[in-house]
Amino acid sequence: MNDKPKLAVFKFSSCAGCQLQIVNLEEYLLDIAALVEISYFVMAKRENADAIYDIGLVEGAVTCGEEIEKIKEVREKCKLLIAFGSCACYGGIPSMKNLVPEREVEKRVYEDVSVIHSTKAFGIDQYVRVDGYLKGCPVDKDELVELIKSALLGVGPNLRPHCVCVECKLRENVCLFVSKGKVCMGSVTSAGCGALCPSLNRPCEGCRGPMNDPNAPSLARTFMEYGLTREDVARKFRKYAGETEAFRKGAEAV
């Protein structure tokens, strides 16, 4: 009898980029497969078991009534439920639509909206209890391995509480914001990506959502001093995590 812990991966409204990071683990995949039974993973397996799972990774925002029911069913089936990626954590990119009336959004996409019942896009904790969050758009592979190891050991993962700027300094990058005037979300954004974008000469766009206790209004005012319009500032804070209280304060500060 197979007594390995069962892992399941579920998709809601998303681009599937976070699930793809599991497949991209490559050098770790055989080790992971030796330790857990990948019971449900539609992207990667033809046959998927309907069961009680030890670890459930949920990708994507909840954006319709059908998904509200589905996330409740998934919660019932998973002993440990992880919001997997910024869409599942905060609503992510789909939540950009939340400021526009829902019917208007539907009409932009569908000719006949009579059978469409979409809702505002929220992270999964709007509807169910969540045991952990793995941020990122997409999630970071090292953090994913850390999460799986921690889950198997029954301890909390060692995820970073500080901002991207700390990792940027650890990589000895010259600050793009201070030295080149490129407006950067790094000082309010949760670390864990290794300052990926600034290390490639691109400012941080805030894809991992807010760090612990950020001062988003202060950064919003600084963005204005650097020439951004109010609308530009709001867009910066609403792109990935506009439904979080911290980034909403940034979007509404100026």
> How far is it, in rounded angstroms, from Cα 233 to Cα 137?
20
Of the candidate spans 110-118, 120-128, 148-156, 183-191, the one that interacts with ligand SF4 by CB under 6 A turns out to be: 183-191
Closest chain position to ligand SF4 (CB): 186
- For β-strands 132-134 and 78-84, DSSP reports them as parallel
Closest CA to 96 of 193, 17, 206: 206
Q: Judged by CB under 6 A, does residue 123 bind ligand SF4?
A: no
Please, what is the angle between helix 216-225 and helix 230-238, to 10°? 140
Q: Tell whether residue 7 is a contact of ligand SF4 (CB under 6 A).
A: no
Q: Between 37 and 127, whose beta carbon lies closer to ligand SF4?
A: 127
* CA angle (89, 79, 131) in 5-degree steps: 30
37 is an interface residue for ligand SF4 by CB under 6 A: no
| DSSP for residue 235 | H
* Short-list 177, 184, 82, CA closest to 135: 82
Classify residue 156 by its DSSP letter.
-
Q: Specify which residues 251 forms β-bridges with.
A: none
Among positions 215-254, residues that touch ligand SF4 (CB under 6 A) are: none
Out of 57, 134, 197, 233, the only residue in the binding site for ligand SF4 (CB under 6 A) is 197
Q: Whole-angstrom Cα distance, residue 48 to residue 238?
A: 36
In DSSP terms, 219 is beta-bridged to: none
Closer to ligand SF4 by Cβ: residue 148 or 196: 196
Task: Write the binding mask 90 to 109 for ligand SF4: x where contact by CB under 6 A, - elsewhere.
Answer: --xx----------------
The smaller minimum CB distance to ligand SF4, of residues 23 and 51, is found at 23
Amino acid symbol at 40: Y
Q: Which stretch binds ligand SF4 (CB under 6 A): 12-20, 34-42, 102-110, 210-218?
A: 12-20
Tell me: does residue 83 bind ligand SF4 (CB under 6 A).
no
Measuring CA to CA, which residue among 77, 23, 31 is closest to residue 52? 77
Q: Find the binder of ligand SF4 among 164, 220, 241, 246 (CB under 6 A).
A: 164
Give the binding range for ligand SF4 (CB under 6 A) out of 79-87, 105-113, 117-125, 223-231: 79-87
Give me the residues that bind ligand SF4 (CB under 6 A), please: 14-15, 17-18, 59-60, 85-87, 92-93, 137-138, 164-165, 168, 173, 175-177, 184, 186-187, 189, 193, 195-198, 203-208
